[in-house]
Amino acid sequence: MDDLSLHILDVVENSIEAGARNIEIEIVEDLKADRLTIVISDDGRGMDEATLKKVLDPFYTTRKVRRVGLGLSFLQQAAQLANGDLSIHSQVGQGTTVRATFQHSHIDRKPRGDMAKTLMTMIISHPDIRFRYAHQKNGQKGEIDTRDLEKAGELSSMSVIELMNLIKRHFPAIT
């Protein structure tokens, strides 16, 4: 995967396959501490202890359509190459949280990628899922929650262009 937004999309697809109805993505770029942190949480099925021990093995997957599960192991590798790490916390029936950290300035850190397009893709592809996305960088913070858009009656009537413009308005300096 060429950028971090594609890794995020892969983890989100895992969450959806695990039955998640609510997915939260948070990115914190702390330039003073030279850290980039990505946290993806869901309310899906969660994993038992035995599955959690195997989930980073690239040859383990619960999917029936392919024999390998490279997404999490690739994200772990990307984090470790950039002087960071990956952790996964999960409880059966409670959901899963994936946390990846990176040294922000590391030469081998993959670029963040186009999170606006990635977020738009998730929202359009899965309109029945609640997505909350928050991004903080240099003291600026943007957040968008599809639940708020649904309550305001905006989400169902938005065109793709309107949705993209809304996302860019929420994240003017960090998308």
Judge whether 62 lies within some domain: yes
Q: What is the pLDDT at residue 69?
A: 46
User: Tens of pLDDT along 109-147?
Assistant: 999 998 988 998 998 899 899 999 999 998 888 888 988
DSSP string, the chain: --SHHHHHHHHHHHHHHTT-SEEEEEEEEETTTTEEEEEEEE-S----HHHHHHTT-TT----SS-S--HHHHHHHHHHHHTT-EEEEEEETTTEEEEEEEEETT-TTPPP---HHHHHHHHHHH-TTSEEEEEEEETTEEEEEEHHHHHHTT-GGG--HHHHHHHHHHHSTTT-
Judge whether 8 lies within some domain: yes
Judge whether 152 lies within some domain: yes
* Stronger pLDDT, 7 or 168, i.e. the higher one: 7
Work out how many domains the chain is built from and give that number. Answer: 1
CATH number, residue 33: 3.30.565.10
Domain residues for 112? 4-170
Judge whether 175 lies within some domain: no
> 16-30, 35-49, 125-139: which range is least confident on average?
125-139
As a whole number, mean pLDDT of residues 7-32 equals 95
